[in-house]
Chain A
Amino acid sequence: MQKQEFTITVYTENQIGLLVRIAIIFSRRKINIDSLNTSPSEIDSVHRFTIVINETEDVVRKLCRQIEKQVEVLKTYYNNNDEIVWQELALYKVPTDIIAEEVKVERLLSQHGAKAVVIRKDYTVFEVAGHREETDNLIKVLEPYGLIEFVRSARIAIIKNSEGFHKKLKEFEYREPGEVATENEFLNQNEEVFSM
């Protein structure tokens, strides 16, 4: 099996210490987390972790089961890049005088969809939202013009064919859960699991 980029989405309770519990599932196996974001979800009390790693599907599936085993984790999904819509946000700080002087820079920025967030006399901050390659490209473009500072956020992702978590959460709240709440989609996806 080939390594590829997977995005793991974890719905959890909002609990101090859970980040460590999840992080050590990766570090214990010496697996690098490429990107990690925690945020609210579509549901008030439920948190959402978005984790990006580069691994084989087999490894990712096992990791997801370990994550889902944690008491405060409601549900874990993993998806490849075709199954999600994702974005990262990048900020670039460049000297304002150069942009003012060089029309070329101005044009380059707009070609890359950069939007000015702050314009001061000494510097200007631009933002770009997009995939890794896109935000990376703009670094290369700006470097010759004295890029002062650069930062990029973790990936956030929306699962294309997800129905959201409202219905599932109701299931979880029942004492006797239905199949929906306990199913492990990643297990079911694996056709080899059940063969005779």
Chain B
Amino acid sequence: MKAVELVEEKIETKKQMFLTGGQAVLEAFLEEGVDTIFGYPGGAIMPIYDALYDYNDRLKHILVRHEQGAIHAAQGFARVSGKTGVVFATSGPGATNLVTGLADAMIDSTPVVCITGQVFAHLLGTDAFQEIDVINITTPVTKWNFQVTDATEIPAVLAKAFYIAGSGRPGPVLIDITKNAQLQQFEYERYEKCNHIRSYRPKPIIRKKYIEAAAALINNATRPFVIFGQGVILGNAEKEFKAFIEKAGIPAAWTIMGMSAIPTNHPLGVGMLGMHGNYGPNVLTNECDVLIAVGMRFDDRVTGRLDKYAKQAKIIHLDIDPSEIDKNVKTNVPVWGDCKETLPMLTALVEQKNHTDWHQKFKDYQLKEDEKCIGPELNPTTDELTMGEVIKLLNELTNGEAVIVTDVGQHQMVACRYAKYNNSKSNITSGGLGTMGFALPTAIGAKFGAPSKTIIAIAGDGGIQMTIQELGTIMQFDVEIKILILNNQFLGMVRQWQQLFHEKRYSFVGITSPNFVQVAKGYYIEGQKVSEREKLKDALQTMLQHKGSYLLEVMVGKENNVFPMVPQGKGVSEIVLSKEEI
């Protein structure tokens, strides 16, 4: 009797469940813990949007004003939260509008899953309305992409998409779903998360012999120097990283992508690397005896001329991506693996040291930089405001607790040079691609990823105009972000190069702006404009204390330059402190 009952119960629970492809996409999102989608509808993705209508209670959808805004928002969401950002866009122009964001996410290793609608499968290749070969267009700018033409594939493909986007070295994934597959009803079994693909190795095996070799090099070094990138943040290895440098007593400098992994005032932090980085870290790269690179990829903006880069040093490179080892800089000891695992192994083997004399060298260079660059930038004696003094006041008012999202240009370099951070994932910037227009939409997404944080978007008068329509998104969804425009009436970074390297032939770098405060008002966003030093602090205070979004436009010196600078084609130790030295 009992046995029969049991069988009946089993049959009961194995009730069939039918879903459309569109619903299956949303079920996958719920299973993956997605709660926010950034997107824009259109013909080829309508069945998914139709399904979304019934998931409104569980999934928040933010309607942006341009698909580039959607993917940047998803990047911002991912960068502050460590979770995967999610995007919807329609076929054709919707999909092509994603390309810049995909490229940005690819080069800066940001986990994003984009779903694009596609024309019916039977129309593929017929130049149907809004048909574009999105898979081939996005192949170079995605970690993985896939076209779904049958709804039954959706659960497994999305599981793979989330696994690939978020594991190993993260990156963007695009799934293109034909309209018939979105509409198709199929028997839904259940969602199974993916955690293994036989052809995909997210993490290389850690080899102990390399860890031992690295430790031996470090223990014998007298002038060891650590340089670190976003790998520390992506690997959630901030604590492990700190423990390592603190035990070994090694000065550490960050790339702009690694910035905020340790607090900017950490005693072992010696500043920023690269073209507009700090003086000491650049010069001393060419004086250290062991260079330990952690989760960074030796971008040319960091290394300057490669044949003049750290030639005297033994190089240890810790990276999760084997293809980064030896790509730009020849490594002596490759430490493959997730630095969350390799750093503690290394820490266990290194000796406690403090390298006092070596640290002093960084301090000496710091003094020179203070005198020539930092002092005049932060405490100017001129009438004109500098970008640096704005950032300095912002530091005072936020105490290093805000998340700063920058656009691209001089203000980006100044913000990265001078902003203070206490917490990881606080500096969000377009490092690899240098995408103007990044700040505003990315800041919107960042607010959804870190709702309790103050999010400040800092942009130039040029970049803000590239994605300014996202003020509409702020208006519609009551997003609270602070928009700080540093207006120098020029495409400043290009102007600086024209001044320094093209005999001041200012070719199309003067840019006029609308009345930004009025534009913001048009979107029901409060704002003001300041150009006097006496009013700056109050204005910043007002911006930060305002309930809701706020736009502050600060007029700064028109022809100020960012220094120090490693001129293009020069080695890192040829860094100059002023234009007279070029």
**Complex Cα gap A71–B202 (Å):** 9
In chain A, positions 4-58 with a C-beta closer than 8 Å to chain B are 12-13, 16-17, 20-21, 24, 28
The reply to whether the CB of A164 lies closer than 8 angstroms to some CB of chain B is no
- Chain B interface size band reads 35 or more
* B147 cross-chain contacts in A, Cβ below 8 A: 16-17
The 4 closest A-B pairs by CB, nearest first: A65-B323, A172-B198, A74-B199, A71-B144
Contact status B205-A173, CB under 8 Å: no
Known: A181-B201, A187-B322. A193 touches B331 (CB 8 A): yes
Say if the beta carbon of B111 comes within 8 Å of chain A: no
Tell me which residues across on chain A come within 8 A of B201, comparing CB atoms.
Answer: 177, 181-182
Interface contacts (Cβ under 8 Å), in number, total 77
Q: In the complex the two chains form, is A66's CB within 8 Å of B323's CB?
A: yes
Known: A195-B332, A196-B213. A28 touches B140 (CB 8 A): yes
A127 near B: Cβ within 8 Å? Answer: no
B135 at the interface (CB under 8 A from A): yes
Task: Choose one: B140, B199, B217; the contact of A172 (CB below 8 Å).
Answer: B199
B139 near A17: Cβ-Cβ < 8 Å: yes
Q: Provide 7 A-B residue pairs closer than 8 Å at the C-beta atoms, listed in order of the A residue.
A: A62-B327, A71-B143, A71-B197, A169-B198, A182-B204, A194-B333, A194-B334
Q: Which residue of B lies closest to A13 (CB)?
A: B199
| Centre residue among B146, B216, B314 by max chain A CB count within 10 A | B146
Whole-angstrom distance between the alpha carbons of A20 and B216 in the complex?
Answer: 44
Closest to A184 in B: B322
B322 near A20: Cβ-Cβ < 8 Å: no
CA–CA, A122 and B210, complex, Å: 68
Name B326's contact: one of A62, A169, A182 (CB within 8 Å): A62
Contacts of B332 in A (CB 8 A): 193-196
B314 touches A196 (CB 8 A): yes
A72 to B213, CA, bound (A): 33
Chain B residue numbers with a CB within 8 Å of A68 are 322-323
B136 CB contacts on chain A under 8 angstroms: 17, 20
B307 to chain A, nearest CB (A): 15
Q: Is the CB of B330 within 8 A of A62?
A: no
In Å, the complex CA distance between A65 and B145 comes to 20
List of B residues within 8 angstroms of A62 by Cβ: 323, 326-327
On A, residues with C-beta under 8 Å from B are 12-13, 16-17, 20-21, 24, 28, 61-62, 65-66, 68-69, 71-74, 169, 172-173, 175, 177-179, 181-184, 187, 190, 192-196
Q: Which one of A71, A192, A193 has the greatest number of beta carbons of chain B within 10 Å?
A: A71
Q: How far is the CB of B177 from chain A (nearest CB, A)?
A: 15
Among residues 145 to 199 in chain B, which have CB atoms less than 8 Å away from a CB atom of chain A? 145-147, 164, 195-199
A55: min CB distance to chain B, Å:
15
- Give which listed residue, A17, A74, A181, A196, contacts B145 with CB less than 8 A: A17
Chain A residues whose CB sits within 8 angstroms of the CB of B197 once the complex forms: 71
Asked if B200 lies at the interface with its beta carbon under 8 angstroms from chain A, I say: yes
Q: Give chain A nearest CB distance to B110 CB in angstroms.
A: 17
Q: With contacts A193-B326, A193-B334 known, is A74 near B198, CB below 8 A? A: yes
Chain A, Cβ-Cβ closest to B140: A24
Which B residues contact A (CB, under 8 angstroms)?
Answer: 135-136, 139-140, 143-147, 164, 195-201, 204-205, 210, 213, 216-217, 314, 321-323, 325-327, 330-334
**How many Å from the CB of B88 to the closest CB on chain A?**
22
Q: Are A196 and B164 in contact (CB under 8 A)?
A: no
Q: Are B205 and A182 in contact (CB under 8 A)?
A: yes
A17 to B144, CA, bound (A): 10
Closest CB of chain B to A166's CB: distance in Å?
Answer: 14
Q: In the complex, how many angstroms separate the beta carbon of B159 from the nearest chain A beta carbon? A: 14
Cβ contacts under 8 Å, A181 to chain B: 201
Q: Closest B-chain residue to A74, C-beta based?
A: B199
Q: How far is the CA of A21 from the CA of B143 in the complex (A)?
A: 10
Q: Is the CB of B322 within 8 A of A65?
A: yes
Q: A17-B135, A74-B198 are in contact. Are A194 and B322 (CB under 8 A)?
A: no
Which residues of B sit under 8 angstroms from A195, Cβ to Cβ?
A: 332
Question: CB-nearest residue of chain A relative to B173?
Answer: A71
Please determine whether B210 and A69 come into contact, CB atoms closer than 8 angstroms.
Answer: no
Residues of chain A with a CB closer than 8 A to B323's CB: 62, 65-66, 68-69
Residues of A within 8 Å of B213, CB to CB, are 194, 196
Contacts A61-B326, A62-B323, A194-B332 aside, 17 further interface pairs with beta carbons under 8 A come to A17-B147, A20-B136, A62-B327, A65-B323, A65-B327, A66-B323, A71-B143, A71-B144, A175-B195, A179-B205, A183-B205, A187-B325, A187-B334, A194-B333, A196-B216, A196-B217, A196-B333
- Measured between alpha carbons, how far is A16 from B153 in the docked complex, in Å? 15
In the assembled complex, the Cα of A69 lies from the Cα of B326 at a distance in Å of 15
A173 touches B198 (CB 8 A): yes
B164 touching A71, Cβ below 8 Å: yes
A126 to B337, CA, bound (A): 54
Give Cα distance in the complex from A72 to B173, angstroms: 14
- Give the residue name and chain of the B residue nearest to A61 (CB): B326
A73, B199: Cβ atoms closer than 8 Å: yes
What's the minimum C-beta distance from B120 to chain A, rounded to whole angstroms? 18
**Bound state CA distance, A15 and B523, in angstroms?**
48
Measured CA separation A183–B336 after assembly (Å) = 11
User: Given the complex, which residues of A lie within 8 Å of B199, measured CB to CB?
Assistant: 12-13, 71-74, 172
- A residues near B195, Cβ cutoff 8 Å: 175
Q: What residues of chain B lie closer than 8 Å to A175, measured between beta carbons?
A: 195-196
Q: List chain A residues, Cβ under 8 A from B334.
A: 187, 193-194
Distance between B388 CB and nearest chain A CB, rounded to angstroms: 38
A66 contact set on B, CB distance < 8 A: 323
A72: chain B residues at CB < 8 Å are: 199-200
Q: Which of B144, B198, B333 has the most CB of A within 10 A?
A: B198
C-alpha spacing A72/B199, complex, angstroms: 5
Contacts of A69 in B (CB 8 A): 321-323
Q: When chains A and B are docked, how far (Å) is the Cα of A36 from the Cα of B390?
A: 57
B169, closest chain A residue (CB): A69
Write out the residue numbers on chain A whose beta carbons fall within 8 Å of the beta carbon of B314.
Answer: 196
The answer for the CA separation of A182 and B199 in the assembled complex, in Å, is 10
B210 touches A194 (CB 8 A): yes
Chain A residues within 8 Å of B217, by CB: 196
Does A20 lie within 8 Å of B139, measured CB to CB? yes
In the complex, chain A residues whose CB is within 8 Å of the CB of B204: 182
A194–B195 CA distance with the chains assembled, in angstroms: 32
Candidate in B145, B195, B196, B216 with the most chain A CB atoms within 10 angstroms:
B196
Chain B residues near A187 (CB-CB < 8 A): 322, 325, 334
Shortest Cβ gap from B4 to chain A (Å): 40
Q: How far is the CA of A124 from the CA of B199 in the complex (A)?
A: 46
B residues in contact with A190, CB < 8 Å: 326
A89 to chain B, nearest CB (A): 29
CA of A66 to CA of B326, assembled, Å: 12
Write the nearest CB–CB distance from A96 to chain B, whole angstroms.
41
Least CB separation from B204: chain A residue: A182
Complex formed: what's the CA distance from A74 to B322 in Å? 14
For B322, list chain A residues within 8 Å (CB).
65, 68-69, 184, 187
Q: How far is the CB of B318 from chain A (nearest CB, A)?
A: 14
Q: Which residues on B sit within 8 Å (CB–CB) of A73?
A: 199
- State in angstroms the CA–CA spacing of A65 and B139 once bound together: 17
